[in-house]
Amino acid sequence: MRLFRIAAVGAAVLASAQANAQQVEPIQFTLDNGMEFMLYPRSEEPNIIAAGWLAKVGSVNERPGITGISHYLEHMLFKGTGTIGTNDLEADRASHDEQRELQERLLSQVIDVQYDRWRRGEISDPWDATYDTDEMREIRSELREVVDAHKTHVVTNEFDRVYTTKGASGMNAFTSHDLTMYFINVPSNKFELWAWMESDRLSNPSFREFVSENGVVIEERKQVLESTPTGRIDEQIDSVFWSSTPYSWPIVGWPTDISGYAYDNLTDYFDTYYDPSNLVGIVVGDFNPSEVKSVIEEYFGRLETTNPVIQPVVTIPIHPAIEKRIDAECDCQTRVRVMYPAPPFRHADGYVLEVLTGILNGRTGRLYKSMVEGDEIADRASASYQPRKYGGALEFTGFPKNEATTADLEAAWEREVELLKTEPVTERELQKIKNQTIADSFRRLQSNFFILVQLGYYEGLGGWEYMNESPEQIQAVTPSDIMRVANQYFDHSIRTVATYTRQEVDLSTMDPELAAMTPEQREQVQMMLAQMAQASIDQLKQVLPMIEQQASSVPAEDKAAFDYMLKKLRERVEAEGN
């Protein structure tokens, strides 16, 4: 009886999927300068518009020597324009030019003098100010004075303030390996404000404070990589896994490179990758498309294209038959990660891999049933397929429980892989994932903001059309497809295995409040703090009261960790806020 009903449901779901295959149909147009736009009118959230734009550039477009510059540029675009962010443009620009000249002199000293000394073994770090020559010391102190004096001409965070006083919210941006995206929510009647602000920063960016922002990014790198228990390990694993490609460096960049961006690097990069022909604007929400289109034409039409030559990404990953293993220790929960090279975004096998990982994951998935509930050897276990524009990764992660070791989990994982390779998955398992895919394909379109982020993210990876293709392609996956890709991609000879083993840390030297937490909480707190490190001080000041007010809804067992995080954030505001 139940089986019969389920088969009927499956057929019904399938039918509805086919009827609704085309779910997203943005209005698309291209301005004369090459900037593309997608408009997605939607009346379900009255009076609200989510708007944003993406630059088709990420760390994959960088080269050794300027790694991290995509991310750095993202920071710089919040520093205002010739109009926004200063109370005295003339003085501001004069100081700006002075800073630029001093920094150029300093950098050439580092490269010409300090690198030589470092190669000869006279100093241990060419960037360390302790080893400055007399000339450098002079430049550095002059630069510091100029930077300090400049502050009187800077209106801090004016860009943000203009938006928030007009009822806009959620202004933010992110940089990934393949794209950079900027977004915000504005009331429907304020669309022109968005067009004004964004076209202003694209045509008229000031790169104000490009010297002092360096310190901010270096701190951010430290927070993410050095102050989180797994940061430096994650970075190395990524680097090893992607070794033959431009994905091998971190988005934030290598430390020397962050210290060494020249002003021209920044403007060249901007001129090339932020040319309108490399940008896509996206507007989702409650608006009249023709009105919005004419505002767009007026404001973004003023951006001029220089038809820059954008170097294509040529290097694709190679996979020699060498298993790579990394064993690391950290103050973190013990875990094992097994990674396999996988196809890039929108590859036909990608859809099969999405289904395959779906069958493994979740409360009713194979990994939970066999490792967490069954053998009770895992606290958590999951599989994922992470496509990028020019490659992909397939990964298993497991956290051992009780007496189990990472080796036990690795063995348990191998049994799951073997099963996938040799036995077809059941129709029911497959149908469950198909059903969920359909439902999720609708659920993920229920908010303007998420529609915006998805359109931008997928467009940056290689085509927003994925959103329509994916549900359809997933419905077509068969058990034999899954067996085929399991055999093709779960290849021992080319995998990367990493184990993280909890190191017994000396708790007595640690902040006692941190020491009192469970290692899991410690890890989470440090991850959160690292994330918050990316926020500006003013953003932090705004969110702090909100975080404080959430205190009462934090589960009791996480209370201490929450309070510690709050305390650290307050300390940072206190230290930097004045």
Backbone angles phi, psi at 318, to 5 degrees: -110, 150
Q: Is 509 a residue that touches another protein (CB under 8 A)?
A: no
E runs forming strands in 401-513: 496-502
Q: Which of 417, 537, 70 is nearest to 274 (CA)?
A: 70
Q: Which is nearer to another protein, 414 or 538 (CB)?
A: 538
Q: Are 202 and 84 in contact (CB under 8 A)?
A: no
Q: Which is nearer to another protein, 323 or 571 (CB)?
A: 571
> d(Cα 526, Cα 209) in Å, to the nearest integer?
28
Q: Which is nearer to another protein, 88 or 298 (CB)?
A: 298
Q: How far is the CB of 220 from another protein (least distance, A)?
A: 22
Binding mask 24-63 for another protein (x = CB under 8 A): ------------------x-xxxxx---------------
Q: Is 535 a residue that touches another protein (CB under 8 A)?
A: no
Q: Is 9 a residue that touches another protein (CB under 8 A)?
A: yes
**CA geometry: angle 300, 448, 443, nearest 5 deg:** 145
Say how far residue 64 (Cα) sits from the centre of its chain: 20
Q: Is 267 a residue that touches another protein (CB under 8 A)?
A: yes
Residues between 65 and 124 with contacts to another protein, criterion CB under 8 A: 82-84, 93, 96-97
Give the distance between the most distant pair of CA atoms in the chain: 87
Q: Looking at 265-273, 341-349, 389-397, 460-468, which segment touches another protein (CB under 8 A)?
A: 265-273
Residues between 165 and 194 with contacts to another protein, criterion CB under 8 A: 166-167, 187-190, 192-193
Q: Is 312 a residue that touches another protein (CB under 8 A)?
A: no
Q: How far is the CB of 577 from another protein (least distance, A)?
A: 9
Binding mask 422-451 for another protein (x = CB under 8 A): ------x--xx--xx-xxx-xx-xx-----
Residues between 350 and 369 with contacts to another protein, criterion CB under 8 A: 362-364
The contacts of residue 411 (CB under 8 Å, 6+ apart) are: none
Residues between 137 and 166 with contacts to another protein, criterion CB under 8 A: 162, 166
Q: Which long-range CB contacts under 8 A does 208-212 form with residues at least 24 apart?
A: 208/79, 208/80, 208/85, 208/86, 208/92, 208/96, 208/154, 209/79, 209/147, 209/150, 209/154, 210/76, 210/79, 210/99, 210/100, 210/263, 210/266, 211/99, 211/103, 211/143, 211/147, 212/147
Name which position in 72, 183, 207, 351 contacts another protein (CB under 8 A).
Answer: 207
Q: Which is nearer to another protein, 66 or 433 (CB)?
A: 433
Interface size with another protein, residues (CB under 8 A): 78
Backbone angles phi, psi at 281, to 5 degrees: -95, 145
Sign of the C-alpha dihedral, residues 296, 299, 305, 311? negative
> d(Cα 270, Cα 74) in Å, to the nearest integer?
10
Q: Are 81 and 143 in contact (CB under 8 A)?
A: no
What single-letter DSSP state applies at residue 121?
T
Q: Is 293 a residue that touches another protein (CB under 8 A)?
A: no
Q: How far is the CB of 10 from another protein (least distance, A)?
A: 9
Q: Looking at 15-23, 323-331, 336-344, 482-490, which segment touches another protein (CB under 8 A)?
A: 15-23
Name which position in 90, 112, 552, 575 contacts another protein (CB under 8 A).
Answer: 552
